[in-house]
Amino acid sequence: MKNLKYHLSILLVFFTISSCNVLEEEPFTQPSTENFYQNETDALAALTAAYARLKSGMGYYKQQFMPTLFASSDQGLSTYLYNEFKRGIVTSTNQSLNNLWKELYLGIREANNVIANVPEIEMDEELKNRIIGEAKFLRALHYFNLVRCFGEVPLRTTPVEAGDDQGLAVSSIVEIYDSIIDDLNYASLHCWGRNESRGNYINDLGRATNTSAHALLAKVYTRIASCKRTANEGILGNELYLEFPETYQNYYQYAKDQCDAAISGQGFSLSTSLDGWVSIFDADNG
């Protein structure tokens, strides 16, 4: 009987140790940041994931900007969430608003991962810079939408690591716009032109281009200029834009410069006729 108890004890210890080893096994089949970014295929896949946030699930370009379209229209709205925007009674508990915030930061997360990890990959340098440029364009777009919708927000430009403090403090309006402008300047230099080919690679339709970066940067500067001008005139709501160091006239000039760069960009020009104007909004127009 004693021998039986002894053998059972040995078996119990053995299975306990075995269980510990199984629990501590690393998940080699699951991709992670450490093992995913190996080649240009991985880099392009990560960038595709960053683009996908614009339309995934409750993606904000798919649904969350609907209140903006409905806000001043004469369409009848039910008691659905968007009605709160129509009636001016929206609160922080509005699910549409929460979804918008969530999707914006999920998009920023994906862009940050690309920007942080792609530089370490051994691959064609022009393609690498293009991928980083497109990711910076997306990050700038997300932050521009955030700052317009919410004002001062947390500014995170690096990937979230385990143990990071999730309660990141908000940054100033100027800091957020400085980051946006830096990202778009990089994108305007490194994103390719519409349908442009370099070596074995082509800038296929739907990607951010250097013209896209100039156009968005023009919009950013116009926003700064207009908000600072109205704040100077004493109109309530834009006081934070008084922090920008230059005159609003300077920012309007910067916007014009970017518009000129966009108009002269590869594959685009101003239309001189209203004939077929609807085609401007076709997907094939890039």
Quote helix, strand, coil % in the chain, to nearest 5: 60, 0, 35
Q: Does domain 36-160+167-269 have CATH number 1.25.40.390?
A: yes
Which tens digits make up the pLDDT trace of 258-281?
999 998 876 666 777 777 777 776
Domain assignments of the chain as residue spans, ordered by start: 36-160+167-269
CB 39 within 8 A of CB 128: no
CB-CB contact of 211 with 196 (8 Å): no
Q: DSSP 3-state assignment of 275?
A: coil
- Do residues 86 and 71 lie in contact, with contact meaning Cβ atoms separated by under 8 Å? yes
R_g of the chain, CA atoms, integer Å? 25
Q: How many residues does the chain have?
A: 286
What would the pLDDT profile of 68-126 be if each residue is shown by its tens digit?
555 555 554 455 566 777 677 878 887 878 888 888 999 999 999 999 999 999 999 99
What values do phi and psi take at 244, rounded to 5?
Answer: -70, 135
- The pTM assigned to this predicted structure is 0.81
| H-run or E-run covering 126 | helix 125-150
Whether the CB-CB separation of 186 and 138 falls below 8 Å is answered with: no
Q: Which of 140, 146, 209 is nearest to 181 (CA)?
A: 140
